[in-house]
Amino acid sequence: MFLQPKQRKYKKEHKGKITGITYESLSFGSYGIRALECSRFNAKQIEMARRVISKRVKTTGKLWIRVFPFKPITSKPNEVRMGKGKGSVSHWVANIRPGKILYEMDGITEFLALKLFRTLTLKLPFKIMLIQYSQDL
């Protein structure tokens, strides 16, 4: 699997609800991608977005990934009868709340950041916005 934790106290977890909002600001880079909706961000989607960004940024800029999929999602195989316990872990997700910063970038131009934002808007399953670091105090 792509991204998954090395060790957990319990192998399986309840689904739960994603509620509330997050108040985060840029910590590392000058541009960031912020989520605007609640969603589950799959490990494959995190890796796909990382590849898209690193392909455009290349060696001129730097990329920080601010999310990690800690939550296991289980599923039972098709055409299996009811009962016999919970299914095995099929993939890992990160719970995303509005305001969560997903990626940060530095060393790129504003034009390139806007271009990356447009491509990621089409590929990610929730609404995002591009934020920029400002030194207003």
Averaged in consecutive runs of 10 residues, what is the pLDDT profile of the chain (137 residues)? 83 92 92 95 94 89 94 94 92 95 94 94 95 75
CATH 3.90.1170.10 fits 31-75+87-132, yes or no: yes
Closest CA to 18 of 38, 37, 34: 38
The pLDDT value recorded for residue 136 is 57
User: With contact defined as beta carbons under 8 Å apart, do 18 and 38 qualify?
Assistant: yes
- Phi, psi (deg, nearest 5) at residue 41: -105, 110
**Do β-strands 128-132 and 71-75 pair in parallel, antiparallel, or remain unpaired?**
unpaired
Domain residue limits, the chain: 31-75+87-132
